[in-house]
């Protein structure tokens, strides 16, 4: 056996000397560069094959089995019946935790629904209050307009037709139409008689035509 080892060692030493000599010849002749040195290293010392990963794959389809195996690994010293009881209790605990989380999420959703309903109710109340306020403003403006119109109507009815004609000459046709519609017909006839020029007559005819067609007034009128 020792002789066989000596022969084997001699062969290795001879091969080593051959390699050294070959390397010296290549270097002296300019045939040895960095790339060739790297190639020689790959031949003499090939890289070892990569080791297989020791971690288990994270495939979701295998995860329950991996969890079960991990649980059983901690209780491998127990009888089969106790291992089953342990697994059952573990999964019951997990199920209870999931149910608690689901209940908590349900409570939070209910709270969000209450807040949303409160916001909706508050907005509805606000819109209703705003409408009441707007209606009150409109009613106040109507009353003020009615009062002002009625006061002016009483004033024009007490004036001479020629004076009223001079005032109406500076008003819009729709405003004159409203006063004509609210005044006594006899007073209107006297005022119209003061409009004598062709332009004035044409304007009065246009205004009276609006009254005959029943066009709406430009402002509220108190009877």
Tens of pLDDT, residues 150-194: 898 899 999 999 999 999 999 999 999 999 988 899 999 999 999
| Same domain, residue pair 122 and 174 | no
Cβ–Cβ contacts within 10 Å for residue 164, how many? 22
| Same domain, residue pair 141 and 165 | no
| Structural domain total, the chain | 2
Q: Is residue 6 part of a domain?
A: no
Could you tell me the pTM of the whole model?
0.37
Question: Would you say residue 206 has pLDDT above 70?
Answer: yes
Average pLDDT, the chain: 76
Question: Would you say residue 20 has pLDDT above 70?
Answer: no
Q: Is residue 218 part of a domain?
A: no
| Same domain, residue pair 140 and 173 | no
Its domain, for residue 190, covers 159-212
| Same domain, residue pair 117 and 167 | no
Q: Is residue 110 part of a domain?
A: yes
Can you tell me the distance from the alpha carbon of 77 to that of 64, in angstroms, rounded to the nearest whole number?
Answer: 22
Q: Is residue 200 part of a domain?
A: yes
């Amino acid at each position: 056996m020792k002789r066989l080892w000596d022969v084997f060692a001699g062969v290795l030493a001879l091969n080593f000397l051959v390699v050294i000599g070959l390397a010296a010849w290549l270097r002296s002749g300019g045939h040895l560069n960095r790339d060739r040195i790297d190639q020689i290293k790959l031949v003499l010392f090939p890289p070892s094959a990569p080791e297989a990963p020791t971690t288990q794959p994270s495939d979701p389809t295998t995860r329950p089995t991996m969890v079960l195996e991990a649980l059983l690994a901690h209780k491998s010293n127990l009888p089969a019946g106790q291992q089953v009881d342990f697994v059952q209790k573990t999964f019951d605990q997990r199920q209870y935790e999931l149910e608690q989380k689901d209940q908590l999420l349900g409570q939070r959703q209910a709270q969000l629904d209450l807040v949303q309903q409160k916001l909706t109710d508050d907005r509805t109340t606000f819109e209703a209050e705003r409408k009441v306020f707007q209606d009150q403003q409109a009613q106040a403006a109507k009353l003020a307009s009615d009062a002002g119109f009625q006061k002016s109507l009483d004033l024009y009815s007490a004036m001479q037709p020629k004076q009223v004609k001079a005032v109406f000459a500076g008003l819009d046709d729709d405003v004159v139409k409203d006063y004509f519609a609210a005044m006594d017909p006899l007073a209107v006839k006297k005022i119209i008689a003061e409009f004598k020029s062709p332009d004035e007559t044409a304007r009065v005819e246009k205004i009276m035509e609006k009254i005959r067609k029943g066009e709406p007034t430009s402002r509220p009128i108190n009877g």
